[in-house]
Amino acid sequence: MPGRSEKLLNADSDSDIALSFKVSRELFRPTHYALVTGASAGIGKAIVRRLLKDGWVVYGAARRVEKMSDIVDEGAFSLSMDVTGDDSMVAAVDEVLSRHGRIDALVNNAGYGSYGAIEEVPIDEARRQMEVNVFGLARLFQLVLPTMREASRGTIVNISSMGGRIWMPIGGWYHATKHAVEVLSDALRVETRPFGVRVVVVQPGAIQSEWADISADHLEAHSKDPGYRRWVAPMAKLLRNYDRAADPSVVANAVSKAVNSDRPRRRYATPFDAKLFIFLRWLLPEGAWEKMIAMAVR
């Protein structure tokens, strides 16, 4: 029978071996590189922080570079990017590729909501929202896919919305952009699967961020005709009352699951309200959905 001192010695030795193994595993863990757009606020910053916690090398990209100083202090890299400018997107992607040779995960988070009656939203504003929410996102696919296909791996995460599965009045242009993101993601998933590339959609519900106030500002700015007031005032009130909305970390957690999983789900809806509304839209006939929405927004 081993004595007490021998047991302690063996315990210490086992602990040392376990610690050495853990340190070695951390040191030799493959480095992963992520590019996150819209990283100057809210959901984007939360995603950057979560991926840093997961051990990724993270590049946050946004127009307002000065707003990313805090995540830079926490270990991220910042890039200037305007998703409506091709030169800007090319330069940002090229910078990451020139440093590391690859991008393992692209998180397309940049986007905004511009609400108003379809008739009243200026067509130039509708085009701009489509440019930011859809064409900028799609252009980034095109820029990162060649190296992902060459590496036979990579993950593209598109931050859509529960609004990509449902619709509400006064949000027609916004919903159109997010429905487009959903369809593009599905088609891209099938096209790129043979190359080892995964395409995932994250569908946030009500989240605490700048998004709601910006959407309400656009709504009130565009609404001139008294005939649409029955929809405008309740929607603006709803958008400005996001006090009980979920923390952006719930979206960041979904992104973390998507990029760190060997077999991610096609879609992650979060938090509960997103799951509920998407389910109801699937369940209810068109007429029933219209009546429910008319009751909700009044």
Catalytic residue among 40, 161, 185, 215: 40
Going by the DSSP 8-state scheme, the letter that residue 54 receives in this structure is T
Residue 40 catalytic?
yes
**Catalytically annotated residue among 45, 59, 115, 160:** 160
Of 235, 233, 178, residue with least CA distance to 212: 235
Spot the catalytic one: 174, 185, 223, 268. Answer: 174
Neighbours of 69 (CB within 10 A): 11
Active-site hit among 59, 114, 178, 223:
178
The conformational region for residue 261 under phi > 0 = left, psi -120 to 50 = alpha, else beta, is: beta
- CA–CA separation, 68 and 19 (whole Å): 35
201 Cβ neighbours under 8 A, 6+ residues apart: 157, 158, 160, 164, 181, 182, 185, 266, 267, 268
Q: Identity (one letter) of the amino acid at 244?
A: R
22 is catalytic: no
The widest CA-to-CA distance across the chain, in whole angstroms, is 91
Yes or no: say if 111 and 134 are a contact pair by the CB < 8 Å rule: no
What residue ranges in 162-285 does DSSP mark as E strands? 197-204, 267-270
160 is catalytic: yes
Picking from 175, 176, 203, the residue whose alpha carbon sits closest to that of residue 274 is: 203
Which residues are tagged catalytic?
A: 40, 160, 174, 178
